[in-house]
Structure 1
């Protein structure tokens, strides 16, 4: 497919504004297209490879030890392959650990789709993702995080202590986000997480990307006719 000639500038839509599409932050994919990301074998690819030939839903996680990111990616793993194929979209997760942490994270979460790492956090930084947590009492908690903060943090610490390579698998202060882009430099949606519970609901992201089905993540995914 040929990339579409469109403006590479988009505006962030905050969770609370998603119904009316109120804009707040501008980004340019030209600033990050040549940043290198790495697959599970340590092989580098430019970031633009993820979206230049088609539409992609790209999820940036905090770190691979983060309990809320683990539970969010567990729900991403429940998305049926057919739903992505029918909408002709790619689903990609990006972390900021070393590449050798990818396999254990995929084994832990059951995540079967594409995953890369940005160990230098180049893409994170250039897209303006937050590096500190900010909690708002009125903010909606992620529907994909089942653990409470105290038990979740204990679980993360235990995983760090029992890991064959003891490290924190990324900057603990770095927050994640979500991006829907492509084909070419076109950006359909961009969101920066403000804290570990500020993930965009998966169904909403999928519908923005063109998926015509709604999934039930309460137990196991069931397709509901829309």
Structure 2
């Protein structure tokens, strides 16, 4: 394979659908990764009201940034989604790009999580993690140094403390703690533009990298100068 990171080639298959033939994951070499739309398109996610949505309908009509996050009590997830929520709507609209976040929790937690993070874009849940499994997103937890993330504002001690307090308050986990996430830019139709598979808790794709890959104007995060550097 070439040394270029996140390298994607998109040949058409026999049915005329574009698939990923070869992909270089970020930060390390990985084996070939194929997006099997046939197995993915009819998988179901849920909105905040419990309505079912086919995964294939999310990116069918529009180029879409789809971010799979960890459990909703994870302070890293909270900080990352807060920054995703700072992307101006006009930036996305001017490039005709949609932003969607998917979590591994029951849908009943969506409303409170969006209020807590200020995230006003589309949020779905995959409580049985069928998409996570089909996309081969990691399922092992690995302790990491959160200070290395460009999007985490809390320190580990306070972040974990707040998470444990929420668990005691709601008496229920909001997703599998071992489940890792990833980011995809798909569509319109079954076309892959970019993939990032998270290797650990903080290995999420930098938001400005996602925007650049999707052809969207990048965002300034004045409260955290680290984020301005890709």
The corresponding residue for 2:162 is: 155
Structure 2 distance, partners of 1:127, 1:91, is 19
Alignment of 1:129-140 (within 5 A): 129-134=137-142
TM-score by length of 1: 0.86
CA–CA separation in structure 1 for the residues paired with 2:136 and 2:97: 24
- What displacement does 1:220 show? 8.0
Identify which of 155, 173, 186 aligns with 1:168: 173
Of 66, 69, 74, which aligns to 1:61?
Answer: 69
Matching residue of 2:98: 90
* Partner of residue 6, structure 2: none
Cα gap change, 1:140 to 1:180, in 2 (>3 Å): farther
What is the distance in 2 between the residues matched to 1:28 and 1:71?
31
Deviation string for 1:115-174 (max 9, x for gaps)? Answer: 00001100000000000034688x9932001122222111111111223xx211011111
Question: What secondary structure is seen at the aligned counterpart in 2 of 1:155?
Answer: helix
1:14 to 1:47, Cα distance in 2 relative to 1, 3 A: same
C-alpha separation in 2, matches of 1:48 and 1:214: 27
Ranges in structure 2 where 5+ consecutive residues have no aligned partner: 1-15
Secondary structure of 1:57's match? strand
Contiguous gaps of at least 5 residues in structure 1:
none
In terms of mean alpha carbon deviation, does 140-149 or 167-176 score higher?
140-149
Question: Following the alignment from structure 1 to structure 2, what is the Cα–Cα distance between the partners of residues 204 and 116?
Answer: 22
Partners of 2:195 and 2:137 lie apart in 1 by 10
Say whether residues 1:217 and 2:210 are aligned partners. no
Aligned match of 1:143: 150
Residue among 193, 201, 205 paired with 2:198 = 193
Q: Helix, strand or coil: the match of 1:16? A: coil
- The answer to whether residue 35 in structure 2 is matched with residue 27 in structure 1 is yes
Q: What is the CA distance between 1:10 and its match in structure 2?
A: 4.9
Distance across 2 between alignment mates of 1:40 and 1:218: 31
Over aligned residue pairs, what C-alpha RMSD do you find? 2.4
Check the 8 A contact 1:37/1:44 in 2, yes or no: yes
Which portions of structure 1, spanning 4 or more consecutive aligned residues, are displaced by more than 6 angstroms?
A: none
Cα–Cα, structure 1 residues 129 and 98, in superposed 2: closer, same or farther, change >3 Å?
Answer: same
SS, match of residue 100 in structure 1: helix
C-alpha offsets along residues 34-74 of structure 1, whole Å, 9 cap, x if unaligned? 00000000000110011011100001011110100000000
